[in-house]
Every structure is written in C-alpha cells, then in structure tokens.
Amino acid sequence: MQNTTPHILVVDDHSEIRNAVTRFLEKNGLRTSMAKDAREMDTMLVSNNIDLVVLDVMMPGEDGLSACKRLSQVGDVPVLLLTALGEDIDRIVGLETGADDYLAKPFNPRELLARIRAILRRTSGTTSPAGKLVGKRIRFAQWILDTDRRVIVDSDGRETSLTSADFKLLIVMLERARMVLSREQLMELTSGRVGAPLDRTIDNQISRLRRKIEQDLLRPRLITTFRNGGYCLSADIEVLDK
C-alpha cells in the first residue's frame, strides 16, 4: 500500500538543525529525510518521492538560493527556505527564485510546521501553478501569456521570461481580472500564508511584474493601485487555442 504521509526533505549543513527539525516533524506525523548540501539533496530527490523541501540558504558549495532557482526551473516540488538573513530584500530574492515561503532563523518549530502544512494544503493535488489555466495561452492587453513555457509575448513577437514569483502572481491576477485584491489576499493566494503588518513582499513583487508588462512605469495601466484597497489587473482576458 502506498504511503500517503507527506515526505519532507530537510536540507541544512548543520547536523544539529537537521536532526532537531527532523525529529520534530516526525513527532508531528510527517515522514522526513535529510541532506547536508545541494548535492545530497539532488540524490534524495532522484531516489525518493519528496513532497516538500525545507532548504537552508547559507550552505557551503551551491547555496540555497541557487538550488531553489534550479529546482523551480525543472520541477514543481515546493520549497520552504530557511534563512538567517533578516532584510526584506533577501527574503524577496528568495521568493523570486521560486521558493513557496521562507522562515528566518531562529524560528519556532511550530511555526515551521504550520508553514509546511499551509504549503502542502495549497499544493496538494495541484500539478501546476497555472491552475485552471494550465496548458493555455492567455491574451491580456498587448501580451500573450504561454502558461506551458512561462513566457509573455508582446505584439511584435518578443518574449519575456517570468520567474516563478512573476508567474504565480500573474496567474492569480489573470484568474481574477478586474477584481481589486488586497495585499493580504494576494499573499494568501500566491504563497498560502498571511503577511506581517509591514510585509512589503507583495508590493515588491508587483513592482517587478510591472517592469515586465507596463509601457510606462510612472503611469501603470495594467496593474492599477487602489488606495487602501490593493491591486487590480485592469484588462480583459481571452483564452486562445494552443
């Protein structure tokens, strides 16, 4: 009989942290495996069916950000980054590389467990971040989004690649075109978590996406801002044949 208990891979070069996290997760009903670096992580991913990777950023050899970016380009295994970096920009970079969430060290093990469960709930049974739009081409304004290739194409045929964070955010907004979405809603829909009161993650992700799709950054027309409200994709969408 197939074991349906979620299998978590803990990747950290500090054995004390690896062992402590593993014991806590197993005590709370999860299966776990361990790796001390990105090379061991790759081996474990090939030989096991891993449901989520808990990945330390600061590791010798290939660091966690590089490993996370690589994973996001070749598959859909969710990643939760563990980082000792406290600056917002470092956390945002982590999300830009494709991480599903991040947690700063030192952390409360119960918060780690809650974050893991939130990611698993969001990704359970989901084969693509594109959701209902998987395998589609979507026209909005002067752009066409190819959900399979994760690129947007302008009216002259020029392509722009999207990071995982760009792609998730754009999909959420396309599925809710012309709806005003609060920062809290966007955080929940893109990462499955609730942001802190001063969390600027969504604002920074909106700014990065605007740089790719807006003609005039000073007067954005596609992603509009609503005071005390949030953001809205102000365009009609059309689903095209492949």
DSSP 184-212: HHHHHHHHSSPPPTT--HHHHHHHHHHHH
Distance CA 208, CA 162 (A): 10
Strand, coil or helix: 93 = helix
**Orientation angle between helical segments 183-191 and 201-213, nearest 10 degrees:** 80
Query: Quick check: 220 and 234 in contact, CB under 8 A?
Result: no
The answer, yes or no, to whether the previous bond of 106 is cis (omega within 30 of 0) is yes
User: Does pTM top 0.75 for this prediction?
Assistant: no
Distance CA 34, CA 53 (A): 10
101-116, pLDDT tens digit by residue? 888 888 999 999 999 9
For the chain, give the percent of residues with pLDDT over 90.
47
Nearest C-alpha neighbor of 56 from the set 7, 6, 110, 16:
16
Cite the DSSP H helix spans in the chain. 15-27, 38-47, 64-74, 88-96, 109-123, 164-175, 183-191, 201-213
Structural domains of the chain, with CATH:
7-123 (3.40.50.2300), 131-240 (1.10.10.10)
29-61, pLDDT tens digit by residue? 999 999 999 999 999 988 888 899 999 998 999
Residues near 65 by beta carbon (within 8 Å), at least 6 away in sequence: 57, 81, 93, 94, 97
Q: Is the pLDDT of residue 1 over 50?
A: no
Q: Is the pLDDT of residue 204 over 70?
A: yes
Strand, coil or helix: 226 = strand
Instruction: Report residue 85's pLDDT band, with 50, 70 and 90 as the boundaries.
Output: low
Q: Is the pLDDT of residue 18 over 90?
A: yes
Nearest C-alpha neighbor of 154 from the set 167, 139, 140, 143:
143
DSSP secondary structure code for residue 131 in this structure: G
